[in-house]
Amino acid sequence: MASCTSVMITRGQSSIWIEKIYKYFGQKPFTCKKIMKKVPDFSGGSMLTAMRSANVIKLVNRKNRAVGMRTDKPSVWVFTTEALFILQKHYGE
């Protein structure tokens, strides 16, 4: 049985965005603003919420909810260990 993480990483339009984010940031932290700069088609908050729910990314401050995406202190994200394992396996890095 496939996990939500592997399904999201390997299927549909979301997998293309996840691959682009991974190629740019890898294991480094990133914010929504940085993603928008690097991946102009990215759909922002709703996609981040879906990625968090599927355990693809997590907040570096370990909180459950992202707050203040447009404030001076934006939410900072990293890929989960599970997601990094799947991404490295798929894209050979």
**37-59: pLDDT as tens digits:** 888 888 777 888 899 999 999 99
- What pLDDT, on the 0 to 100 scale, is given for residue 19? 92
Q: In the beta sheet, which residues pair with residue 76?
A: 31
Q: Which domains are seen in the chain, by residue range?
A: 4-91 (1.10.10)
CB atoms within 10 A of CB 9: 26
Q: Rounded to an integer, what distance in angstroms lies between the CA atom of residue 24 and that of residue 71?
A: 23
Give the 3-state secondary structure of residue 59.
Answer: strand
| CB contact set of 47 (below 8 Å; sequence gap of 6+) | 14, 17
| CB contact set of 52 (below 8 Å; sequence gap of 6+) | 58, 59, 66, 77
In this predicted structure, the answer to whether residue 70 has a pLDDT above a threshold of 70 is no
Rounded to the nearest 5°, which phi and psi values hold at 16? -65, -45
In this predicted structure, the answer to whether residue 13 has a pLDDT above a threshold of 80 is yes
- What pLDDT, on the 0 to 100 scale, is given for residue 85? 93
